[in-house]
Structure formats: structure tokens, C-alpha cells
Chain A
Amino acid sequence: MIAENEEYILEMLGKGMREHERGHMQYRDIKIETNTIPHAEGSATVDIGNTKVLVGVKLAVGTPLPDKPDEGALVTGAELLPLANAEYETGPPSPEAIEFARVVDRGIRAAGVVDTDALFIEKDKVWTAFVDIYVLNYDGNLFDAGTLAATTALLSARMPKLEGDEVIREGNLGKLKTNGIVTSCTYAKVSKNVLLDPNGNEERIMSGRLTIANDEKVVRAMQKGLSGSFSFKELTELVDATFDKSKQLRDKMKQAIGD
């Protein structure tokens, strides 16, 4: 794929335009599919434009974290797969992948999507929920796609049973207990413009990035990335915009899980 000419994008922005005739505060088409990996306890594939992210959720029996002895654990990881983008390389997780996973994790955790209390089994024995984010195709805005896919996968996950030492993962199972729902909206700063849901071309030339994760009532997580800055005024405006824009994300998610 040839990267779009930087000046062309800036020239278009000067005329108030974006690729594919999108408005500055408009999402690309979003598609959410659940249970795409039936072997996993929960899974979801999310497309935002050409960005495609898959999340698989597995539950395993383990020991609790030392500072939280009476609740289960949540572990979130992200892989920027080499097949997703010519620029991704094999090797240990990059700082970018780690930041991505941790931002998604903070949103899910702060919104209480996973009820970790319900993952307690007995003393020194808890369930750990592993949320693995697989980036399959990169065209910008991984954060929103990752949060959408992770939350959807968790909300649609089944809860395995423990019979003796055996983990029962199939058959007549209940659902993973969840307590919240979270989505995120990511904005890119490109010269003086603020763009919702940046695509790959826009991300290549953005100076700064701001992700705001929220539920219906409150902001649950935020992360500013890259060297570019945002003003305090922009921050409060984007927080308000996020409460507005996130409605469609939650609706799509609820639709996908048949809620």
C-alpha cells in the first residue's frame, strides 16, 4: 500500500474535507461481529473502515494477584501482527503495542466490564480473564476498534465451570459476569484540525492523539499520545463530543450481542 501524499491530505483539510468525504467528527463504517472464534470463551471482530481487530477472551484458573487476594484477574495484551501492516515487525511487543493494550485495559477495568469479584473461586484460586487483542489489518484508530472488540467479546463471553480440577468450557454454561460497558473515541490532531477516528493516512501525519473512553455517565479512561499538544479547551470540548459520539458505538455493540 502506498501512503497517501501528506500534502494532499493537508490541502483537503484546508478545504474542510477528509478522505472518503468524511466530516471531521464522523466515524467510518463500523461492523461488529461476535463469536467469530467459537473456541474462545468470548470473541469479537470489529471493522472500522479498513481497520480490522479481533479479540479473543479465554479464562484460566490461576492464583490471585498478591494485592487482590479475593478477586479474579484481568490480563490484556495486544499484538500488532506483521500481517496487518507492512511496517509491523516480529519480535517482543513494541512500546506502541504495550501502550495500546494498557489503554484498552484501563477503560475495561475502570468501567468494571469484568466483575472480578465473581471470578473468585476459593482461597488462592481465582479465574483469570485473558483478553488478547489481535490487529489483523491496520488503517488507523486501533484504540477504538480494540476497546469495542474487547468489550463486545467480554459481554458475549461464556463462563467456564470447574468440576474438580477439570475446566468445562463447552455445553450448558452461563455467561461471564459483567458490570459495565465501555467504548472509546479517538481524536487525531493534524496541523490545527481535530479529526475523530483517524485513518492510517491521517495517523501517519498526526502530531497528537487523544483517546477518551466512557460509559453512559462518566469518562473512564483517557490517554494523550505523541508529541503534539491539545489545549484545555479542546479537551473539555472533546469530552463532551465523546458523550455524544459514543451513543452510536454502544448501540452497535448492543445490537451485535443481541441485547
Chain B
Amino acid sequence: MKIVLPGDKISDGPVRMENTIVENGKTYATVIGMLDESKGAFVPLESVWYPRQGDFVIGIVENSKNNVQTVQFDSPFRGLILPPPRPRFGGRGRDDRFGGGPREERQEVLHIGDVVSAFVKDVKRESDQIILILERPKRLFGGKLVEVRPSKVPRIIGKASTMLKQLEDGTKCTILVGLNGIIWVNGGNVALAQKAITKIQEEAHIGGLTERISELLTSGSINRGS
């Protein structure tokens, strides 16, 4: 493993890989990252979130007009929550807007300032920016938002969600991690959770992270204990 910087050559041949470019048949890194030459794997140490279909995201409702909500993610991408399609049969006409439709069609009423989680259904290039069509929006009540660098999200979740589970167990918090780098923490020891998340972000590249987080969570809950 070695640190690679933007402009460093990753391969003498053209390789299709995220966070790289091919110029004159050779492949170069475009972000700072760790290169495992034996496996040919390149993991970014820093990166900017670029949305993909299916991404779980957390944002704040910024506007609500004509039953369409726009959601802000602290990124150049704006999310749109469209009204659910009216059921063709068996609908109740006017009463739909009071949430009276069939259960799967029902959508929570969202207001400006509400925190929502959602999934990216579609990434659309509009005339002047990239728009994310969102689905399965859920209003998140209460809780604290913690922002991290999107490149650190995989470490906060951990392999097979082990780190996230460790965090939740150690703090008794419910933690939802948006791939856009916004994390929602609710219930339990929120301050401890925030401290641990920050530590993961700062020390993601240093070995033995799981042990250090485990220590922090144990000592943190003892201190608070009593």
C-alpha cells in the first residue's frame, strides 16, 4: 500500500477505475488515495460525493411548492421529492391529499426545514445542474446531524456494518448514515456518538481503529455512567 496523489501514475495501461483518468493510454489518480499495487485497488482518502442510483441520503427540505419538495444536501446536487402517482383504481379522489390513499402510495407531509432520509431513484442532468429524484422519503424527527467527509462514510459504516453496529451498541443511539456525508444521530449518548464519529473521520487511515473506537465508547460510557 502506498499513498498516491492527484496526477500520480497508477497504471501504464488504460484502467477504468473510479477517481482516475486515462490520458495517452496511461492511468492517473485524480484524488489522494491508497494504492494497493498487488490487487490493483485504489481507495480514496478524500473524495467528493457523487450520487448514484440507490444511494441512501440525508438532507433538509429547502422548499415545498405544488406538492414537490426540494432537498438540500450541502452539495451541488439538489434532491426532488415528487408527489406519489395517483392510484388509477380504488383511489378516494379528493381525499388523497389527506393521506387516505392505499398504504404504499401514502407519503408523509414534509415542511421546509424538515430533516429527511431518502433513496436516490434517478440522477438527472437538468439544464443547469444535476437533480436527484428521491424515493421512499422519511421524515426524521429530532436527532442531531453530524457532517463528515463523504470519503469517510465507508469507514463509519465498516465492513458488513460492524463499525456502525459498534457505535450504536456503545452509545445506545440510532444512527443513520447518508452517503452524502450527513449522519443523523438520535437517542442515547449523542455527544459520545459524535465524538466517536469525528475520531473515525480523523483517524480513518491509521490502523487499529476498531480497537480505539471500542476503547473510546467504553471509557465514554463509564465517564458518563453513574
Q: Direct contact between A and B in the complex (CB less than 8 angstroms)?
A: no
